[in-house]
Structure 1
């Protein structure tokens, strides 16, 4: 395990490429978590350095300091990765770790405090120190592709909430059907079959919609 490093204010500012005055300003704006105090000396660590680099990257992408402060507050009060994943990682979905600037790059101009709060509430995102964890690579790739096509992230998240409700209902339907006539072991074994039925029905439903639009 790497040894935890700590920095005095002057060293932290130098490593982050900013002035001590700017560092003090960020601290006053609550863009940084409080340092560890040892008497009159303030000690900062790599989490503070990562946060400063994130602030610089977000400023380069056009975010305002007020907006960054709101995002930082949302990150600091979001559910951590343990709460997000529960007792274990998803059995088939692959979680993705991102820095805040990587998330901003995925959803150019759409990572607002409101959208971030909605994603945290849905359980799509959690935090792990200065990293963000998305619950599913497939959901992340799908939602970012929709945003690139011009669909607002707020609407993608609202659709995700509705899909979640229908998916929960489908999962309950298949679970009840299988457990009424088979065993719990069969539930795990027949999981791919349930997914195939849902995917086929969705494909047919999309065909019907597309024909109506033609």
Structure 2
């Protein structure tokens, strides 16, 4: 049997009533979601509408996001941003994922909402897609870096707005690109292009050490400023 025929037979399809029952919602709710364009149109066969597992996954996502306090209007906007985002293949070409040491994380839309409770807005999702932090893979979202995901969510839990985290990420990207260019030119000029991968850990060590010392200088400066502000003015000499 041909591979395409085997794959076709594994695709489950549902009539309207069957899909509503599988999703645990009334048929009228399913039709309402269709009218609001929260669901993609079904496959038509005469007068019969056929849905598949992608429609079921979307219905479960809608239910989960509603439970988390999102409105249907907000979910529609999130869906539009989600569907207009880059897919994983496009993102791989853009960021050169094949070279990356980062570990991608596959998430459902509701799991992403759990990471950034109350902060997954259409604007923030669009910014994340534009930065290349997340990409679309079927019904799922892929975050390109476990480390960035964990750090971003930790900052949000500490009280930093996700929009501010993303804007800082954009600015860091500019500086990181400049540093990458410096080390690429250094190694290519004095050693060879082939040595870039082998010597990349050295560049990372320099950047981490310099960032650590820069943070130390900032902390010392802030402590000095706070100490000066706390000193009482000396009495004038007679």
Whether the TM-score (by the shorter chain) exceeds 0.5 is: yes
Aligned residue for 1:209, secondary structure, equals helix
Unaligned runs of 5+ in 1: none
TM-score w.r.t. length of structure 2: 0.88
Counterpart contact for 1:95–1:137, Cα < 8 Å: yes
Q: Is the counterpart of residue 64 in structure 1 residue 71 in structure 2? A: yes
Q: Distance in 2 between matches of 1:158 and 1:122?
A: 10
Q: Is the counterpart of residue 167 in structure 1 residue 176 in structure 2? A: yes
Shift of 1:91: 2.5
Unaligned runs of 5+ in 2: 1-6, 224-238
Aligned residue for 1:190, secondary structure, equals helix
Counterpart contact for 1:85–1:135, Cα < 8 Å: no
Q: Per-residue CA shift, 1:62-116, capped at 9, x if unaligned?
A: 0000000000111111111111112654430011100000000000000000000
Structure 1 stretch displaced more, 172-181 or 80-89: 80-89
Task: Name 1:180's counterpart in structure 2.
Answer: 189
Aligned residue for 1:108, secondary structure, equals coil
Counterpart contact for 1:58–1:68, Cα < 8 Å: yes
Out of 187, 192, 196, the position equivalent to 2:201 is 192
Structure 1: 4+ residue segments shifted above 3 A? 87-90
Count of matched residue positions in the alignment of Structure 1 and Structure 2: 214
TM-score w.r.t. length of structure 1: 0.97
Higher relative contact order (CA 8 A, sep 6+): 1
Task: Name 1:152's counterpart in structure 2.
Answer: 161
* Cα RMSD, aligned residues only: 1.2
Q: Distance in 1 between matches of 2:102 and 2:62?
A: 30
